[in-house]
Structure formats: C-alpha cells, structure tokens
Amino acid sequence: MDAASQAQEMALTGVKVLEMGALIAGPYASALLAQFGADVIKIEPPKNGDPLRKWRKLHNGTSLWWYTQSRNKKSVTLDLKSEECREIVRKLVAEADIVIENFRPGTLEGWGLGWEQLSAINPNLIMVRISGYGQTGPSSQRPGFAAIAECMGGLRYVSGYQDRAPVRVGVSLGDTLASLYGVVGALMAMYHLKVNGGKGQYIDVALYEAVFAVMESLIPEYAMTGHIRERSGAALPGIAPSNTYQCSDGRYVAIAGNGDSIFKRLMTAIGREDLAQDPELAYNDGRARNVEMLDRVISEWTGRHGLEEILTVLDEASVPSGRIYTAEDIMNDEHYRAREMFQQVELPDGQQMTLPGIVPKLSATPGRTKWIGPTLGQHTQEVLDSIGVTPEQLARLRASGLV
C-alpha cells in the first residue's frame, strides 16, 4: 500500500491543527489528533523548544518522553514575543481547523492572539484552551499544574491510606484527563460545525475540572448525606469485595469480586461456599457492610498460596484478578503483544526504540506512527514556505534569532 492510500485510511486526514503551548496537557491533546492523521504544527520557542524535550530519561540529550508525545507533529520555531512571528501565526490560523493552547489565561490576548482576534481571522476556527483553573473565575490567573489540580479536583484526598499523607498517582493524570476532554470537545465542536452547520467555538478546559469530572458520586454523597469519602488504600469504597491482597510469595494480587454472581464464584473458588450462599452477602449493600470480614477471609486464602496459583484458580472461576504490573511485566505480556501495543521505531542515531501503541483502535481508519518527535524547528522552512514566507524573510528571522 502506497503512502497516499495509507494516509486516506486515517480518520483525521485533512484536519489542520496548530499547537501553541508546552509540556503536557495541550501537547498531549494535539498528539492524540496527530496519531489519527491530523496535520499538527507545533510552535516552539527558538532557543530551547518545549521543556518536555529535557524531561525524565534522556537519550543523546533528548527526552524519550518527547519522542513518544510528539510523534507525527511538525516542529516550527517562532518567538511569539515578536510581532513579525505573531503575524506568521495569524497566517497559520487562517488555514487551521483547530488551535490548541495551554498558556495562562490572558497570555495570548496580550499578544493579540486571543479567541476574539483569531476567530475574526477564521470564523470556523475551533480553539481548545487548557489551563489550570479555566478562562474565567477568581482563580483563573493562578499558575496551574496537574499536581495542584488533582488536589483541588478531589482526587488526592481519596488516594492512599488514612494513616498517611495523601499520595499522587505516578503519572500526570490531571494533564492527561484535561487533554482527553479537550480532544472530545474539539471533535464535538467539529461535528457541530461540519454536520449541524454551526459556527466555530472555543473549548474551555480547566485541569481541576477535568479531575473533578471523574470523581463519580463524591459530590452527591456529600450533598445528600454529608458523607466525605476518605482514603481507603487499595480498596474500592462501598463496593465489595475489591482490593489488593498479599500472596504467600510476598507478591500482591488484585481481586475484583464485587459483582453479585462473581462474588459467589469467588467464594466457591476459595472454599467458602457458606459465604457464597449467605443471603446477607447476595447484593453489594450487604457485602459493603461486611467488607472487613470479607477482606480478612480473602487475605487468609491468598496468604496460603502463591500468585501464579491464585491467578490460575481465579481465572478458572472467571473472577477478575491480576498481578500488579511493572514496566517489565507489561513488556513481557503476551496480550499486550497480541494487541500490538508496542511499536518499534528508529531514533536519529539508528538505535531502536519502543513506543506505546496507539489507543483507541479504529477498525477502518486506525492511527499510526508516521515519524517520532521532530528535532527543534525541523519543519520551520517547510511550513513557512507553504504560507508564502520568502527565503529572504526567513533568513532575516533566523539571523535575528526569532525562528
């Protein structure tokens, strides 16, 4: 299959995206669009580019994370503090379908690149604006990072154990959730524009609200009953049994036996037919009242068996269970491999690198990795040529350090 026919199989072929921002939330949103065929132009500062280029583990001075998050993007360097470079951005906006930015609210307005100015250039424009606290409200001007958003959104308070300080998830979950909401909003806005004959619009995504939106029944429980959900370790509050249990070999197993029929199969599998038939435990509300007893019973059973034996027994009983995966476990898992969740790519020095596979899996128009994260400014000349920037103007901008 030639490159042209491959491109036609990507769901977002023909969609033009301009990314202005750095690090995680905005760039991850555009990364998702790029993986499904959108033409993403990433604007970076000329000198050092996106700080993500230097985050976490580096290979020859470049972040491995960068190669993953910036695949399929085009890197263009522009100094947005320069009016001449901002005029170039306006030309790019005139041809864009979506602009994604994650500056502090008011920053783009100060540069003459806010929503009112850009939508006047392109009335069909869709603009995704991701910030810590949203574009409005008394906290909108505060600096916002995912670590703080996870606290304000309620996630940190319920994470960990009650006798210890709240803990964070080991990834920047608040950024990722905001990115996902940004992409969903952009695609809904595009549908409204293309199918319903609507207008362009902007999507206001706050990091803390993205976290807050996935907090399930946290607010109704408090508003109706005054209940404040507390930290519960590895258990799932009010849903039983669902916890992590230690095995005889010192490893841990996660067991989710909280479905009514699943619970009966679990109890039968561990030799507690009496509990499987107990009417008090037939439904979740009764099991939740007896969760400490159930966790004790399950722990006593797992404490007598090794992890592999436990997984075999529970698989045979069709009880959801699993080991606690490390990166090594993931890389060695046959199901991950069967689902093509690893992609081999080549770094600029010729060394092979493994990228995570693309999610979700579309049956007719799947996403793919066309190239890894670009070098700083790799596509500046190509992109600027396409909007009529002359070689002389580009040379002058380069000499002045603006690109």
* 40-52 confidence digits (pLDDT tens): 999 999 999 999 9
* Mean predicted confidence (pLDDT) in 54-58: 96
Amino acid (1-letter code) at residue 161: Y
Confidence of residue 4 (pLDDT cuts 50, 70, 90): very low
Structural domain total, the chain = 2
Closest CA to 100 of 184, 18, 209: 18
Q: Are residues 84 and 157 in the same domain?
A: yes
Q: Tens of pLDDT along 305-354?
A: 999 999 999 999 999 999 999 999 999 999 999 999 999 999 999 999 99
* Mean predicted confidence (pLDDT) in 280-295: 97
Q: Are residues 53 and 103 in the same domain?
A: yes
Buried/exposed 120-148: b ≥16 CB within 10 Å, e otherwise: ebbeebbbbbbbbbbbeeeebeeebebeb
CA distance 18 to 25: 14
* Residue indicated by tokens 């009417």: 279
Q: Are residues 68 and 180 in the same domain?
A: yes
116 inside domain: yes
What pLDDT is recorded for position 8?
55
262 inside domain: yes
Distances from the Cα of 276 to the Cα of 280, 282, 297, 318, angstroms = 10, 8, 12, 15
CA distance 169 to 154: 13
> What's the pTM?
0.93
Q: Are residues 137 and 260 in the same domain?
A: no
Closest CA to 207 of 29, 16, 55, 17: 29
Provide the token pair at 108.
């783009």
Q: Tens of pLDDT along 146-186?
A: 999 999 999 999 999 999 999 999 999 999 999 999 999 99
Q: Are residues 301 and 372 in the same domain?
A: no
221 inside domain: no
Is 50 tagged catalytic?
no
* Identified catalytic residue from 175, 285, 329, 333: 175
CA distance 292 to 240: 9
88 inside domain: yes
Q: Are residues 131 and 68 in the same domain?
A: yes
CA distance 41 to 10: 17
List the domain range (segments joined by +) for residue 260: 242-323
Pairing outcome for strands 252-256 and 242-246: antiparallel
257 inside domain: yes
Q: Are residues 174 and 317 in the same domain?
A: no
179 inside domain: yes
236 inside domain: no
330 inside domain: no
**Mean pLDDT estimate for the chain:** 96
Q: Are residues 209 and 251 in the same domain?
A: no
- The answer to whether 7 and 13 are in contact (CB under 8 A) is yes
Where among 323, 354, 382 does a domain terminate?
323
